[in-house]
Amino acid sequence: MKKLSLLFIASFTLAACAAENNSDSSEAVESMETIESEVSSAPESVETSEHSSQESETASEDLEGVTEEELANAESVSEYDSYEELVYQDVFNPEQYQGSIVTDNQGKRIFLFSDGQNQIYKTIYIKHDNRLKIIDLQKDDLVYNKIIQ
């Protein structure tokens, strides 16, 4: 009789442990799915926040005019038809100002438009995004910030 009761207790113990493992494993599967979905969405949110913070950081930098040193190293431009970003914008007429290319590299192109000694507009064209920013340097204001096509 002792053997039979030990066998009975052992079977109940094993059954209870198996039931706990099954519920634990289903909880583990659910938690893994939750973690996977959170991880898969996390890079998007990080990328979005980096992009928006990068835009706001560059906007405060970009509102500043060009230094004398940058202006001295800038290339003067008189023909604007080959610069697609200037063709698409309608904020100002580049032909009315003296234009200079301050920076032109793989990532971005920065133009400065001046009226004699006064810096009037600064354009920043981010090439990989096709984003054009136009800053009115007289008002220290970002007047145009759009993706152009």
How do residues 63-83 score in pLDDT, each as one tens digit?
Answer: 667 777 777 778 888 888 888
Helix (H) or strand (E) holding 125: strand 118-126
Domain limit, last residue, from 19, 47, 62? 62
pTM of the entire predicted model: 0.59
Do both 37 and 54 map to the same domain?
A: yes
Of 62, 78, 93, the one marking the end of a domain is 62
Residue 47 sits in the same domain as residue 78: no
d(C-alpha 140, C-alpha 104), whole Å: 23
Range(s) of the domain holding residue 99: 66-147
**pLDDT tens sequence across 32-60:** 555 555 545 444 444 444 444 444 445 56
**Which run of H or of E encompasses 139?**
none
Can you say whether residue 27 is alpha, beta or left, with left for phi > 0 and alpha for psi between -120 and 50 degrees?
alpha
Domains identified in the chain, total number: 2
Contact between 114 and 123 (Cβ < 8 Å): no
